[in-house]
Structure 1
Amino acid sequence: MNRTKSKSAGRVPWIAAALCLSLLPACAGGSSGTAKPAPNEQPVQSKMQNEAAELTIYSIVASITQEEFQRTMEAPIKAKYPNYKLNYMISGTQAKLDNMVMSGNAPDIVITSIAGMNSNVIPFQLQYDLTDLVKKHKYDLSRIDSSTIESLRNASENGALYGLPKYTNSVVLFYNKDIFDKFGVAYPKDGMTWDETAKLATQMTRKVDGISYRGMGLFTSNMIVENQLSLSLIDAKSDKASVNSPEYQKLFQLYKSFYDIVDNKPAGTFNGDNELNSFYKDKNIAMVIAPMSGYGRFENEKDFNWDIVSAPTFSDKPGIGFQANTIYYFVSNVNKKAEQAFLAVTGLLTDEVQLAASKEGRPTILTNEKISATLGEESKAKGKNFKALFHNKFATAPALNVKMAPLVNAGSILDKEFGAMIGSGTDVNTMLRQAEEKINKAISEAKSK
């Protein structure tokens, strides 16, 4: 297993605007494992440990239920800080962040992705730089996968550290074992290149017993925003779209090539989300490339025989997977309880807590390979090849345009243009030119407001 530990390694998503928060895994419950705490895994003890504090935790990740909160967050925090009172709220009709902020009841911790930071944390000016607290409490960030920290700093103004990661996610390749068995073709394997995968997709696209089987489907939203080439959507300095480039041409020529395979194009309008749904509902797609968290849609499907391997890689970039898509705990600045919130969050990043989460199916953000090796051991999908998530190094996340990212969803624009291209049969150059024009128009409109 190759697990990135250096700054050069680059992140997950279940989340990016394209992450589709509905994909985040509704992980099943399981018994907690135990592990001896590693040195420096928690802040230096302080008098604050016995002080009382009331913290409100607000989750934009709807799949983190009240039951899961009480078991996996409240219990560990109160074990270490018994005088903390925790209130948990899930984003929805009963708990809207804007209403909470306007009424003076802003949360102390917000659980979301980097995309969620741009759309929820920063617009309400909730962000708080944890750098000084990390130093004060001598918290050892080297325990955490550097890609998750680097991605957040790249997305933040002046490299600030607005939060700490909860769990990670990235793109993998799912496959339907029954279709491969039916055709007598060997299963996909970890470490395949894109060329090898394209050949396999072509081989698996055929009509048998009156059923048309497609070799490959792509969940493109994450594949675009979390691309393996570390390409940005909006230039970090010029406030201009950066998608009409030779590098993006390379990326989209590849993605398009799968839908150029005879009979592999979907019958209706292309939509990456529908590709994943067809994979497990219609069971007529042999493989689909999607965020690993996508298995939450079909982990309860008893008659669906699936498994996972690592996402394909470029031949000239061996071992480099997609960027990580991480869910973070963002600490708020508004209630003057940032230090207590920081202590609560670091209490959830111990080896013991992360081990239990990993076993339930939430990929750890620690560099501890013994913990990452336990992924999914006690989940409903026990026995699947979850280690595929860590087979490749995560691609480096590019610097984000911190001004425009909260205002312009460039990834969604590009994804829609890709889908339109697949339906209309236009070429990649035209698609990228049109996408760039639309992104620049959205930037201009955002600036004028």
Structure 2
Amino acid sequence: MEFGMKTRRSHKAGLLLLSAFAAIGAAGCGGQPEVQGKTGGEDGKAAEKAFDYNQTATLTMYNPTVSPDYYKDYILPHIKKKFPNVTIEHINPSDPGNGIDNLISAKKLPDIYLMATNGIPNLMEKGLLANIEPIAKTNKIDLTVFEEPMLQSIRGISDKGELLGLPWTYGSTALFYNKDIFDRYGVAYPKSGMTWDSPELRDMIVKLNRPQDGVKGIMFNLGNMLGQNQLSLPFVDPKTEKALVQAEGFKRIIDTFASLYKLGGSVDPADFDSSGQKAFITKRNVALWAGNAVYPMLIDLEKKGNGFNWDIVSLPTFKEASGVGTQYFGAVWSVSAANGKQELATQIIALLTSAEVQIEGGGLIRFPTLKDPVVKDSLGKGESFLQAKNMKALQLNKIPAATTPTKYDGTAAGIVVGKAVEVIRDQKDSNTALREAAEEIDKKIADIRGAK
């Protein structure tokens, strides 16, 4: 497929990626430069000649992350082009009998995995994932081309610091704003580089909070803002498996968002929901929305003649973590530790995270994970509608150090988000809410462990 073509297929791809990757709230991006000829120096060329790209083999790919259509259109063709004699059998986890425990029992372990980062701890615990670092070194695959915070986030999952995958996407976040609401009340548009405590942001919200008109100044996707929080706060201690959510930082985040929501008037707290997405995109009664990459949805509305005048600036940051955005959370390509095909599988995922493939992915609203400015600049370039938007704002904040994830994080985050909603709705104070959250998380973990 030619990159940048304005086709229904290209638009459909963005929508498929968004819906299939909703678990991370984004249609991110991935990668590493193409192994062939781009690993540097004569050693790289020798490694390229030594590896047999024409070998015949059959590998299985476990994919809970993107839809079968996206896989067929934007993953498989790249593999077939470079590895013409390799057959990939696609395992769809939603099909009966394809759960990971079922595959273990049937001794049908996949060779390649594509999953969100929060899926790695469970597979790591079962000993299913290979450390890619030594395989990459042997094959002269250059790992320095990736954004280092993304690699460090993946290494941080393992207590041994092993690299259990290569980053393919990043679930980016931004501060979206509705220009029509700003224009209606004569308020200047926001700028990148604000903090959550900055007077300019607070003044803006006060001016835009118009209860008499049913307009809210700001809302937040709490799943993103707490789940990948900017202060790198862990939900669960990986060693003790006890909740850590009573940390002062969680109180700071929740109290900050609650105070911003209520600025400038008697906004009904009961109107607050945990994502704010419907209010911003469908109801269009929210001036500012801190949330994830919903660009395919916005593009779809535009193509149907139901778009609106929005743009983005960089996500405001906390003054104690200046210039720091949300933690790395995205889709990762991993290799099986069990099947003896690690070298071929690693070459395949190196291709799928290569510069060439990432440039195509950037055009399809998949957020790049490479340092290469050309690759980074590809984001949104396959869709003319986005070229008028401030997409560069997504790359202004630094990615913070990631917490060590646990397999209980999704459960814990869901509980904390629910409690944060109660605080914002004035149903309880943050100290009480977080104490209750910790108790509920500990009980849930105990239940899960007891069910084994």
Output the amino acid matched with 2:393.
A
Output the amino acid matched with 1:300.
D
The SS at the match of 1:347 is helix
Equivalent residue number for residue 225 of structure 2: 223
Distance in 2, Cα, partners of 1:316 & 1:157: 27
Equivalent residue number for residue 368 of structure 1: 372
Equivalent residue number for residue 402 of structure 2: 397
- The structure 2 residue matched to 1:188, chosen from 190, 209, 216, is 190
Equivalent residue number for residue 10 of structure 1: none
1:300 deviation in Å? Answer: 0.8
Q: 1:256-335, aligned counterparts within 5 Å?
A: 256-261=258-263, 262-268=265-271, 270-273=272-275, 275-292=276-293, 294-302=294-302, 303-335=307-339
Comparing 407-416 with 138-147, greater Cα deviation is found at 407-416
Distance in 2, Cα, partners of 1:22 & 1:323: 11
TM-score by length of 1: 0.84
The SS at the match of 1:190 is coil
Paired residues of 1:408 and 1:443 also in contact (CA < 8 A): no
Paired residues of 1:110 and 1:331 also in contact (CA < 8 A): yes
How many residues get paired?
A: 415
Equivalent residue number for residue 6 of structure 1: none
Q: CA 1:420 to 1:207, structure 2 compared with 1: closer, same or farther past 3 Å?
A: closer
Distance in 2, Cα, partners of 1:304 & 1:90: 36
Q: CA 1:229 to 1:26, structure 2 compared with 1: closer, same or farther past 3 Å?
A: closer
TM-score by length of 2: 0.84
Q: Deviations over 1:81-137 (max 9, x none)?
A: 221112334442467334444434332222111112235x34654322222212211
Paired residues of 2:236 and 2:409 also in contact (CA < 8 A): no
Percent identity, aligned pairs only, is 29
Output the amino acid matched with 2:295.
Y
Structure number having the greater helix percentage: 2
1:227 deviation in Å? Answer: 0.9
Output the amino acid matched with 2:133.
T
Output the amino acid matched with 2:108.
N
Q: Deviations over 1:275-323 (max 9, x none)?
A: 112211111111111112x233332112222212110012343211111
Distance in 2, Cα, partners of 1:232 & 1:407: 8
1:418 deviation in Å? Answer: 1.1
Q: Deviations over 1:338-361 (max 9, x none)?
A: 221111000122222212211221
Distance in 2, Cα, partners of 1:191 & 1:71: 38
Distance in 2, Cα, partners of 1:237 & 1:125: 17
The answer to whether residue 78 in structure 2 is matched with residue 76 in structure 1 is yes
Output the amino acid matched with 2:360.
A
Q: CA 1:265 to 1:172, structure 2 compared with 1: closer, same or farther past 3 Å?
A: farther
Equivalent residue number for residue 3 of structure 1: none
Comparing 337-346 with 192-201, greater Cα deviation is found at 192-201
Equivalent residue number for residue 87 of structure 1: 89
Equivalent residue number for residue 7 of structure 2: none
Q: CA 1:197 to 1:160, structure 2 compared with 1: closer, same or farther past 3 Å?
A: same
Output the amino acid matched with 2:296.
G
Paired residues of 1:180 and 1:186 also in contact (CA < 8 A): yes
Equivalent residue number for residue 257 of structure 2: 255
Paired residues of 2:24 and 2:116 also in contact (CA < 8 A): no
The answer to whether residue 358 in structure 2 is matched with residue 358 in structure 1 is no
Equivalent residue number for residue 382 of structure 1: 386
Distance in 1, Cα, partners of 2:297 & 2:262: 28
Q: Deviations over 1:148-188 (max 9, x none)?
A: 11111112242221111112122211111211122221222
Paired residues of 2:323 and 2:398 also in contact (CA < 8 A): yes
Gaps of 5+ in 2: 1-15
Paired residues of 2:246 and 2:434 also in contact (CA < 8 A): yes
- The structure 1 residue matched to 2:108, chosen from 89, 99, 105, is 105
Distance in 1, Cα, partners of 2:22 & 2:72: 25
Paired residues of 2:174 and 2:312 also in contact (CA < 8 A): yes
Gaps of 5+ in 1: 1-13, 28-33
Q: Provide the alpha-carbon RMSD of the alignment.
A: 2.8
1:213 deviation in Å? Answer: 0.4
Comparing 76-85 with 218-227, greater Cα deviation is found at 76-85
Paired residues of 1:127 and 1:333 also in contact (CA < 8 A): yes
- The structure 1 residue matched to 2:64, chosen from 47, 60, 65, is 60
- The structure 2 residue matched to 1:339, chosen from 343, 349, 363, is 343
Q: 1:204-215, aligned counterparts within 5 Å?
A: 204-207=208-211, 211-215=213-217
The SS at the match of 1:127 is coil
Q: CA 1:37 to 1:258, structure 2 compared with 1: closer, same or farther past 3 Å?
A: farther
Output the amino acid matched with 2:112.
I
1:24 deviation in Å? Answer: 3.9
Paired residues of 1:215 and 1:287 also in contact (CA < 8 A): yes
1:215 deviation in Å? Answer: 0.9
The answer to whether residue 417 in structure 2 is matched with residue 415 in structure 1 is yes
Distance in 2, Cα, partners of 1:232 & 1:70: 36
Q: CA 1:94 to 1:376, structure 2 compared with 1: closer, same or farther past 3 Å?
A: farther
1:435 deviation in Å? Answer: 1.1
The SS at the match of 1:241 is coil
The SS at the match of 2:87 is strand
Q: Deviations over 1:168-216 (max 9, x none)?
A: 12221111121112222122221112123233222211146xx310011
Distance in 1, Cα, partners of 2:266 & 2:68: 41
Distance in 1, Cα, partners of 2:204 & 2:91: 45
Distance in 1, Cα, partners of 2:433 & 2:375: 43
1:394 deviation in Å? Answer: 0.9
Equivalent residue number for residue 9 of structure 1: none
